[in-house]
Amino acid sequence: MLFGEDLGAAVLRGLVLGAFALMWVVLLVRILGLRSFSKMTNFDFVMTIAMGSLIASASQSENILPFLQGLAAMVSLFAVQWTAARLRKSSDKVEAAISNTPLVLMRNGEYCEEALKATRVSRNDLVAKLREANVMDFSEVRAVVLETTGDISVLHGDHLNESLLKGVARGPD
């Protein structure tokens, strides 16, 4: 029923439940720390998206049980994310299973064509990222890395400390 319910009650319920769900997430973040939404891995990114969906669902609940189920699901996601972060920190095997490996897309001003093809990143997208990073000339680019989160990092300047590429899959030099 689109207009069968009292509009004022529906709006008030959405406002109250949405605010409460958001405060619940803030409380969980305060308990578990800012790492919860850090977007350091693809796992963290999915956690952030799922949390937004759960907040939206909880704020639209018409009964208390679906609302409480949404709050419980939020706790569950935080617990799984916390556990995964701990396991990643303590085990290289878990780290490899959960996380993608960052990949070099450009090295010393040269495109890594195989990496671009494998990751479906176009040259135009890469050039747009270079512009965002204020690169004035390809010769300034030491490396462009597709990070585990899908972000692109542009390392440019006169010199690159190779330790910045530790753990990054390399394209051809």
pTM exceeds 0.85? no
How many residues would you count in the chain? 173
Q: How far apart are CA 103 and CA 137, in angstroms?
A: 22
For 161, list phi and psi in degrees, rounded to 5: -75, 120
Query: Is the confidence at residue 170, as pLDDT, over 70?
Result: yes
**Mean pLDDT of the 64-78 span:** 94
Tell me, what's the pLDDT at 123?
95
Tell me, what's the pLDDT at 173?
45
DSSP string across 7-19: HHHHHHHHHHHHH
Query: Is the confidence at residue 48, as pLDDT, over 80?
Result: yes
Contact (Cβ atoms closer than 8 angstroms) between residue 116 and residue 141: no
- pLDDT per position as a tens digit, 134-157: 999 999 999 999 988 788 999 998
- Which superfamily does 100-165 belong to? bsu07140 like domains (3.30.240.20)
Look up residue 79 and give its amino acid. Answer: A
Spell out the domain ranges in the chain. 7-97, 100-165
